[in-house]
Chains A and B, each alone.
Chain A
Amino acid sequence: MAKKDLWDGNDIYVCDGDLAQAFHMARVLGMPLLIEGEPGTGKTELPLQYSKSHGLDLHVYPVGSKANVEQFVAKFDHVKYLRDSQIEVLNMQREEKGMDSKLSTGGRSTEQLDDYILMGPAAKAFMSPHSVLLIDEIDKAPREFPNDLLYALSHRKFVMPESGRVIEVSEEDMPAIVITSNREQELPTAFKGRCIYHYIAFPEPDTMKSIVIRHYPKADDEVVNTALNIFYHMRNLGLERAPSTRELLHWLKYLQQFAKEETLEKMKNLDGIGALIKTQSDLEKVQSKLFSSGSSDYMKRSLPN
């Protein structure tokens, strides 16, 4: 039986209920889970942490603008094949001349086309049952890429180039496939139809707090609360590029090196704010808004619920 239990995070990854259920559902139905959401909300972390806590094989395909099915599934190594077939001819000539020593093809045989196939992450994942396959940032791919996957996703099989060998996986053994997207382009409807869709909402303050605590268990409560207040306050300023979870964690990492009192002081002065704010105009906005309203003001405020 495939790994179909409900999984909701481990010691450093908090997976909220909705996402845990969607992921569970995708695994039970043997369908890929398509996760979209703001950058830095932990889309990619999910399969990484899942495979880690279950000790499963992880196969990753980072999608780029040149992504194609060949890289993803498998490609045929023509150069090696050409070389080996020339070696065969050479070896025959050497034999005629009565030479004993033979040139090696490294155990490959040109009769066996499978020997020349370089498998990509998809083929590898389909061959190892219950593995985890991550297709990261699929929205960066050319439009053909998701369309080319349709057949494989609905029939759970890949056909190897040249050799015609079929790699097939049963619904039971289907790897857990997670696909992430930042919505830089809309994916084809037919493709989405074959996925379970989940949109990661931005974490609420209390969820965020538990995320922070899992990453920095030793962090001081007051420090965390203050950081969260500033963080959510910034998100409400209507910045061009609102800070995300990842950036909050980076900021806290930086602040960790100081003693508590010093940290609070540094936060008040928005020290290390470069971790959170990424554009010049945002920085100006933050400085004018947060300082003009009196920086001690938001320090006192309790966590919004």
Chain B
Amino acid sequence: MFQSLPQAFRTHKLQADVRSLLLLQKSFENGLVKTFGDLFVVLKGIIVKKPQDIGPFSKAYYEYFLNIQFKPGETLGSAITRSVAFQEWKENYLESLDDEAETPDLQSLIDRFLDQVHLTSYDIKKIIDGKQILEQDNPDLEDQIDQDANASQGPNRPLDRASDFSDIDINELLDRMRRVADQQKDQHFGGSHWIGQGGISPYGFGGAAKGGIRVGGAGGGKMARKVIGDARYFPVDKDEQINDNNIDASLASLKGVISESAEEELDVQGTIDMGLKRGGLFVPELKDKISREMKVILLIDNGGYSMNPYIHTVTQLFKKMKTRFAHDLKTFYFHNTIYEYVFTDARRSERMNIDRFLKHSPDYNVFIIGDAAMAPYELGRSSIQHWLDIANKFKKAAWLNPDRQEWWEHTFTTKVIQEIFEMYPLTPNGIEKAVLEMNRKGRMG
């Protein structure tokens, strides 16, 4: 089953492989997956490996199982509204409502839809437990719930047993899922078979009419709010230019700069001391190699309008980095390119001679942030020489460019700079790549 699942999730840059499938199968066999919401939770536990994965994972999950396609930058709500799955669900749902009931607005429909998609057996258990307590408390409550359930916004909503897979034979379920997975490829079906068209629907409505469980609003909109309101659930596009929304994803990428030294070396003094304590039994003692401090120089181009939108975010980002895990962060500024000086303040009034700048220890990680786009005459020979000096001195240097990558080749000076520095886009992914490359160079010495 689900042979295409790893591939589909991998296109979202998630780690999914045969092992994920085996684990999923094992979870099925152990009865962990009873509802569609359980499937989300179980797959999330298997596939998501870091907080930044949650967004892409939700995206991949909606795409694969519900055939909800995201246009770049689109919100979850509007992607859902466009999808066939939601349309069919809506039709069924509206039919199931009483005639007198007011038609719910779109937002509450989406909430409702997400609630049902994410309804887990845990929620059901909670609801049932809660219901039993309620019933013991108040025998008249049943009628009251019936009335409330008809009102779309009422706190009490019907849930039904049809969403529980536990009575179904596991093979039948797998078979059914395989069919659905196959149909994903076929646009005629569009994966919407997950949504009640008779048969076993993960969130069908038949059950409610047959006297299924009617319960209080425990699940009410919890997941929906989570998905729509929470940046971690809402897909963050890691190839988007850096902004206040993905600053945390960028920060996570930067974390990789921390040098990890797990190397050990022979501790001669320690060996002698311990050997004497042990009464002449000398066992080699090891000590950790002192790990280098994380040192960062930030060189920001704050001239020109092209850079303005990014300066605030970039300085915020590195400031956050400093408070969280850097020990030594220095920021310098330049205007388009470097002549004789760099500047130590953002207003570019305090100069530092380039020779003095180059006296910094070579183990600094240098991030140069600029669009590298200037008039060709600005990038004269002496200026190029300065860049070369910087590149030679600091082996761990990277250029982060806020312009879109596809534009780079159209700017002459950008191409020149690219020959001197490794250039990466100023996106969470770009930063991550830059950091990996820096670390690799750091290790090579």
- Residues of A in contact with B (beta carbons under 8 Å apart): 6, 8, 17-18, 20-22, 24-26, 28-29, 36, 65-66, 78-79, 82, 142-145, 183-186, 189, 192-193, 196-199, 201, 240-241, 279
| Listed residue (A65, A142, A145) with the most chain B CB atoms within 10 angstroms of its CB | A142
Contact of B30 with A142 in the complex, beta carbons under 8 Å = no
Residues of B within 8 A of A186 (CB): 50, 255-256
Residues of B within 8 A of A82 (CB): 278, 281
Contact of B255 with A185 in the complex, beta carbons under 8 Å = yes
Contact of B45 with A197 in the complex, beta carbons under 8 Å = yes
| Given A143-B260, A189-B15, A241-B323, residue A25 in contact with residue B32 (CB < 8 A) | yes
CB-based nearest A residue for B31: A28
Q: Quick one: which of A29, A78, A241 contacts B281, CB cutoff 8 A?
A: A78
Contact of A17 with B27 in the complex, beta carbons under 8 Å = no
Residues of A within 8 A of B45 (CB): 21-22, 25-26, 196-198
Q: Quick one: which of B49, B230, B258, B260 contacts A192, CB cutoff 8 A?
A: B49
Contact of B120 with A185 in the complex, beta carbons under 8 Å = no
Q: CA of A196 to CA of B47 in the docked complex: distance in angstroms? A: 8
| Given A6-B125, A82-B281, A142-B262, residue A18 in contact with residue B41 (CB < 8 A) | yes
The reply to whether the CB of B79 lies closer than 8 angstroms to some CB of chain A is no
- Smallest CB–CB gap between B423 and chain A, Å? 24
Contact of A79 with B23 in the complex, beta carbons under 8 Å = no
Contact of A17 with B42 in the complex, beta carbons under 8 Å = no
Q: CA of A198 to CA of B51 in the docked complex: distance in angstroms? A: 9
Contact of B288 with A36 in the complex, beta carbons under 8 Å = no
Interface 1/0 per residue, B1-44 and A, CB below 8 Å: 00000000000000100010001001100111000001001101
| Given A20-B122, A22-B45, A28-B30, residue A183 in contact with residue B255 (CB < 8 A) | yes
- Smallest CB–CB gap between B1 and chain A, Å? 18
Q: CA of A189 to CA of B47 in the docked complex: distance in angstroms? A: 11
The total number of A-B Cβ pairs within 8 Å is 91
The reply to whether the CB of B126 lies closer than 8 angstroms to some CB of chain A is yes
Contact of B262 with A21 in the complex, beta carbons under 8 Å = no
B98-119 residues at the A interface, CB under 8 angstroms: none
B315-372 residues at the A interface, CB under 8 angstroms: 320, 323, 325
Contact of A144 with B49 in the complex, beta carbons under 8 Å = no
Residues of B within 8 A of A79 (CB): 278-279, 281
Contact of A25 with B260 in the complex, beta carbons under 8 Å = no
- Smallest CB–CB gap between A244 and chain B, Å? 14
Contact of B260 with A185 in the complex, beta carbons under 8 Å = yes
8 CB contacts below 8 A, A to B, read: A6-B122, A6-B125, A21-B45, A25-B32, A29-B30, A193-B15, A193-B49, A199-B54
Residues of A within 8 A of B15 (CB): 189, 193
Residues of A within 8 A of B38 (CB): 21
The reply to whether the CB of B48 lies closer than 8 angstroms to some CB of chain A is yes
Residues of B within 8 A of A192 (CB): 49-50
Contact of B122 with A21 in the complex, beta carbons under 8 Å = yes
| Given A189-B49, A196-B46, residue A28 in contact with residue B32 (CB < 8 A) | yes
Residues of B within 8 A of A28 (CB): 27, 30-32
Contact of B283 with A78 in the complex, beta carbons under 8 Å = yes
Q: CA of A241 to CA of B120 in the docked complex: distance in angstroms? A: 34
Residues of B within 8 A of A201 (CB): 226, 230, 232
Q: CA of A25 to CA of B32 in the docked complex: distance in angstroms? A: 7
Contact of B50 with A65 in the complex, beta carbons under 8 Å = no
Residues of B within 8 A of A197 (CB): 45, 48-50
The reply to whether the CB of B409 lies closer than 8 angstroms to some CB of chain A is no
Q: CA of A8 to CA of B123 in the docked complex: distance in angstroms? A: 12
Q: CA of A115 to CA of B106 in the docked complex: distance in angstroms? A: 71
Contact of B323 with A143 in the complex, beta carbons under 8 Å = no
Residues of B within 8 A of A17 (CB): 120, 122-123, 126
Residues of A within 8 A of B325 (CB): 184
Q: CA of A143 to CA of B443 in the docked complex: distance in angstroms? A: 14
